[in-house]
């Protein structure tokens, strides 16, 4: 329950809603018979927590909306939910990168909490708690983090995706205080945008997906509040959102004329990937064609040498990546065997097979999941914790194989045309 995670603050004298909003960023929008009070908060401010408490405490509102999705609310309400995760299922279903992104966000939030003494998102958690205490309907209006991440990734080019991935990896390993400038930006910005670092402000595509799209999405979801489950007759709605969304959200709430359901459907759609794996087809054609050319033009010796060069380049580098990750000997063997084969198959990945083996041989314990949030704060903790070590196995084995593909390919070109 959310209530168990909230620390009660000292009761304050009741204030009117006008008094509460006087010194807080806010917008008020009236539409379709409903007045929406948008309260802009700083995700790392105790003052915002108090303002949310006081606003709901006035008794003005029929419903409360918060900048959360179901997954983020659960993470705030149940910090130990990771202990229930099926890591093998995460790997099998191809959600390893998304899991790493969520872990990076959690690590960033933990650093902020330790530095500032306020858990990021505490005001959103307080809003849910206060609303439920008063039996007010609660609407979660934000888009799922996974959908936002997937839509951003789908729109970025390969180089920008690599930069985004490196930013996530850096966020996982950084163990230093958040700078004052970054904290000030966060007070007026957005948690997801801040967690992506400087890349968010430098990438128009990422800004559009992470900020602008979510403004449109949340405005549409707010318009659905009056029809939400348990909403009843809703005339006054308090929406608790990050200050960085206040202007855009108010604008869309005033001006948007399309049906909210159509907007939501559009903004949760993921552009399907091409059903034809062109890169794999080209790579497979090149490698197998090179083998055939070698056997035809140079005989058994040349053909066998080309195959050996490919196996050694991909297999050894994939195995080295697994070994650097602290992989079990069986995981390293799987990485060596899989790395020459998986680049030629669109549905297989050496990192996936090696990580699955690691999770099977060294099954993460309940204690590993419970300690994960703390362990990922240090480099040593990443190798000590079995959950994070499986992630390292996946990424470093995949990286080793990728380097091996380029190395092996260049060696083949040298042999064939040298």
Give me the residue spans of the domains in the chain.
2-268, 278-417
Closest CA to 252 of 36, 61, 18: 36
Q: What is the largest CA-CA distance in the chain?
A: 91
The answer to whether 58 and 14 are in contact (CB under 8 A) is yes
Residues 279, 335: Cα–Cα separation, whole Å: 21
Q: Enter the pTM of the model.
A: 0.72
Residue carrying structure tokens 């459907």: 265
Residues 334, 108: Cα–Cα separation, whole Å: 33
Local confidence pLDDT in tens for the 418 residues of the chain: 444 444 444 555 567 888 888 888 899 999 988 999 999 887 777 888 899 999 999 999 999 999 998 888 887 777 666 666 778 888 887 777 777 777 776 666 666 666 666 677 788 889 999 999 999 999 999 998 888 888 887 777 766 776 666 666 665 555 555 555 555 555 555 556 555 555 555 667 777 777 788 999 999 999 987 654 444 578 999 999 988 888 899 999 999 999 999 999 999 988 776 667 778 888 899 999 988 988 888 788 888 999 999 999 999 999 999 999 999 999 999 999 999 999 988 878 999 999 999 999 999 887 888 788 778 777 888 899 999 899 899 989 999 999 999 998 888 888 777 6
Residue carrying structure tokens 């309940």: 366
Q: Sign of the CA dihedral 223, 227, 229, 231?
A: positive
Residues 383, 393: Cα–Cα separation, whole Å: 10
Task: Return the pLDDT at 48.
Answer: 85
The answer to whether 131 and 56 are in contact (CB under 8 A) is yes
Q: b/e map of 55-83 (b: 16 or more CB within 10 Å)?
A: bbbbeebbbbbbbbbeebbebbbeeeebb
Q: Residue 308 class from Cβ within 10 Å (0-12 exposed, 13-18 middle, 19+ buried)?
A: exposed
Residues 91, 351: Cα–Cα separation, whole Å: 10
Task: Return the pLDDT at 163.
Answer: 66
Q: Sign of the CA dihedral 256, 262, 264, 265?
A: negative
Residues 338, 316: Cα–Cα separation, whole Å: 11
Task: Return the pLDDT at 1.
Answer: 40
3-state SS of 230-287? Answer: CCCCCCEEEEEEEHHHHHHHHHHHHHCCCCHHHHHHHHHCCCCCCCCCHHHHHHHHHH
Task: Return the pLDDT at 6.
Answer: 44
Residues 281, 47: Cα–Cα separation, whole Å: 57
Q: Two tokens at 230?
A: 């348990």
Counting DSSP H helices and E strands in the chain, the numbers are 21, 5
Task: Return the pLDDT at 201.
Answer: 57
Closest CA to 380 of 104, 175, 140, 103: 175
240 beta partners: 39, 66
């Amino acid at each position: 329950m959310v209530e168990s995670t909230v620390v009660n603050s000292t009761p304050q004298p009741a204030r009117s809603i006008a008094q509460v909003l006087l010194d807080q960023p806010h917008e008020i929008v009236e539409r379709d018979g409903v007045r929406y009070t948008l309260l802009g908060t700083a995700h790392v401010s105790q003052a915002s927590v108090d303002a949310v408490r006081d606003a709901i405490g006035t008794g003005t509102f029929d419903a409360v909306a918060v900048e959360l999705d179901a997954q983020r609310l659960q993470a705030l309400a149940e910090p130990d939910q990771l202990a229930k995760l099926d890591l093998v299922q995460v790997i099998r279903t191809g959600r390893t990168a998304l899991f790493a992104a969520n872990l990076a966000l959690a690590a960033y939030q933990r650093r902020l909490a330790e530095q500032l003494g306020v858990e990021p998102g505490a005001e959103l958690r307080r809003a849910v708690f206060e609303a439920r205490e008063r039996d007010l309907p609660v609407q979660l209006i934000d888009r799922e983090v996974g959908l936002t991440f997937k839509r951003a990734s789908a729109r970025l080019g390969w180089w920008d995706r690599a930069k985004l991935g490196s930013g996530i990896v850096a966020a996982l390993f950084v163990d230093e205080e958040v700078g004052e400038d970054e904290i000030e930006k966060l007070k007026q910005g957005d948690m997801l945008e801040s967690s992506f670092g400087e890349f968010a402000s430098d990438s128009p595509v990422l800004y559009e997906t992470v900020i602008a799209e979510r403004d449109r999405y949340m405005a549409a979801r707010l318009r659905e509040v009056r029809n939400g489950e348990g909403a009843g007759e809703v005339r006054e709605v308090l929406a608790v959102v990050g200050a960085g969304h206040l202007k855009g959200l108010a604008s869309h709430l005033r001006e948007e004329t399309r049906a909210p359901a159509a907007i939501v459907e559009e903004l949760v759609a993921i552009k399907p990937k091409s059903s034809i794996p062109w890169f794999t087809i080209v790579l497979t054609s090149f490698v197998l064609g090179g083998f055939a050319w070698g056997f035809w033009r140079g005989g058994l010796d040349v053909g066998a040498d080309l195959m050996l060069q490919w196996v050694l380049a991909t297999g050894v580098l994939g195995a080295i990546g697994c070994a650097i990750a602290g992989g079990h000997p069986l995981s390293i063997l799987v990485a060596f065997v899989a790395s020459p084969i998986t680049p030629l198959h669109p549905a297989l990945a050496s990192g996936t097979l090696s990580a699955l083996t690691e999770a099977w041989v060294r099954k993460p314990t309940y204690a590993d999941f419970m300690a994960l949030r703390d362990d990922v704060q240090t480099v040593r903790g990443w190798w000590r914790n079995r959950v994070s070590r499986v992630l390292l196995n996946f990424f470093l084995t995949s990286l080793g194989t990728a380097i091996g593909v380029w190395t092996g390919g260049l060696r083949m070109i040298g042999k064939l045309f040298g």
